[in-house]
């Protein structure tokens, strides 16, 4: 061994860990043959803990601070090594640094739907997902129960087990809460607190704690959501007859016109007859015989057009066909008068419109001559 190697071996050993990742929970300090010099300096930063494993046995745990590895601050190691106060030889131990900060934004969710009995819908299934935060609360227990001899342990390695615990407790909590599905969205905060409290004893056995747990969403199966949307739509529509009348008037383009009211009334009457016929056929004891079936409802009356007139750059109307007939008799409407109705392509002369042309062919004959 050269003089440089000798001097290097005599320098004070410095043991520390600077974490440059976001998911490392445990990191083992690597040293050839795991040889640590007596009197070495151990630096444990805030958010860390250091655990010594000697000959396969957990020896000492160090909280944040600066330590000189000597007999006065390593009582357990001193006992295991059987050191005398004057003994200064190196010792072989594995040093694990534990990250004790919070690991946030961990995901959880129900892989399969959860069955429950809803007070309003009866037996149904729901899904849920959210996030949680874990933290190492007992480094020694965490090393013993979870990490073992893993030299670099990440949060992903424990997340699957934590998710299983959360889903299991969520199923039990949600089934015993008796909260209707439609009210769960308003109670996710309270459900999250109850769920975290229920999980805490199981997590504590791993040396972990669950500072935060959030339920982001609780959803129903797609078929149930579709039926719920239909039910909501029916509630919004309200009175079906009034809804149909409004649609008919809007389709006519003239909500206040007489023709629109006539059309809406006809549609409402037809619907009422159809519904009444269906009820009569059903009867109180089931479907009636075919011979006793009520006759089919008549079709709705044809839609009557209403007309607008254009004279001298001014429009008037709307007028019914009967009103136009009286205007022809009075001489206020001629074949050259321009007219327009819903669905017609631009203004046309009344004499060129087939529906109105007949008004000009039913004029009464000329009066008889005066008596001689």
Structure confidence at residue 135 (pLDDT): 94
Q: Domain-by-domain residue ranges, the chain?
A: 3-99, 103-224, 239-281+296-304, 307-360
DSSP element (H, E) containing 15:
strand 14-15
The answer to whether residues 36 and 93 touch, using CB atoms and an 8 Å cutoff, is yes
> Considering only CA atoms, which of 251, 133, 103, 142 is closest in space to residue 196?
133
Structure confidence at residue 214 (pLDDT): 92
On the question of a cis peptide bond just before residue 342, with omega within 30 degrees of 0, the verdict is no
pLDDT averaged per 10 residues in sequence order, the chain, 372 residues: 42 78 88 71 92 82 86 56 51 85 92 84 87 94 87 89 91 85 85 91 93 89 77 66 69 55 54 54 50 63 74 82 80 84 82 79 65 64
CATH 3.10.20.30 for the 103-224 domain, yes or no:
no
The answer to whether residues 143 and 98 touch, using CB atoms and an 8 Å cutoff, is yes
* Both tokens assigned to 13: 């050993």
In this prediction the pTM is 0.55
Q: How far apart are CA 28 and CA 280, in angstroms?
A: 83
DSSP 3-state of 115: strand
Residue with tokens 């050259």: 336
């Amino acid at each position: 061994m050269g003089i440089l190697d000798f001097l290097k071996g005599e320098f004070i050993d410095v043991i520390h860990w600077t974490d440059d990742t976001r998911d490392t929970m445990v990191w083992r300090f690597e040293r050839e043959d795991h040889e640590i010099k007596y009197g070495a300096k151990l630096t444990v930063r805030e958010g860390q803990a250091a655990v010594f494993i000697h000959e396969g046995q957990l020896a000492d745990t160090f909280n944040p601070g600066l330590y000189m590895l000597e007999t006065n601050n390593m009582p357990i190691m001193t006992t295991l090594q059987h050191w005398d106060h004057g003994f200064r030889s190196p010792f072989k131990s594995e040093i694990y640094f534990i990250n004790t900060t919070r690991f946030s934004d961990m995901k959880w969710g129900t892989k399969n739907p959860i069955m429950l009995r809803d007070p309003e819908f009866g037996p149904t299934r729901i899904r849920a997902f959210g996030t949680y935060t874990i933290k190492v609360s007992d480094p020694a227990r965490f090393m013993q129960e979870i990490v073992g001899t893993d030299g670099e342990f990440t949060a992903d390695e424990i997340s699957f087990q934590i998710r299983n615990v959360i889903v299991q407790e969520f199923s039990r909590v949600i089934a015993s809460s008796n909260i209707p599905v439609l009210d769960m969205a308003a109670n996710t905060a309270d459900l999250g607190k109850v769920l975290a409290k229920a999980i805490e004893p199981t997590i504590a056995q791993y040396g972990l704690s669950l500072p935060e747990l959030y339920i982001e969403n609780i959803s129903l199966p797609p078929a149930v959501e579709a039926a719920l949307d239909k039910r909501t739509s029916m509630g919004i529509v309200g009175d079906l007859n009034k809804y149909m009348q409004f649609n008919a008037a809007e389709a006519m383009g003239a909500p206040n016109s007489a023709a629109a009211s006539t059309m809406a009334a006809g549609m409402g009457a037809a619907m009422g007859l159809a519904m009444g016929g269906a009820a009569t056929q059903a009867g109180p004891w089931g479907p009636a015989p075919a011979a006793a079936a009520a006759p089919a409802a008549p079709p709705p009356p044809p839609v009557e057009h209403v007309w607008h007139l254009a004279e001298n750059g001014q429009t008037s109307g709307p007028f019914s066909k009967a009103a136009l007939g009286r205007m022809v008799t009075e001489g206020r409407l001629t074949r050259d008068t321009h007219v327009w109705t819903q669905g017609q392509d631009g203004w046309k002369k009344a004499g060129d419109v087939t529906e109105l042309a007949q008004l000009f062919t039913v004029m009464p004959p000329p009066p008889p001559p005066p008596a001689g």
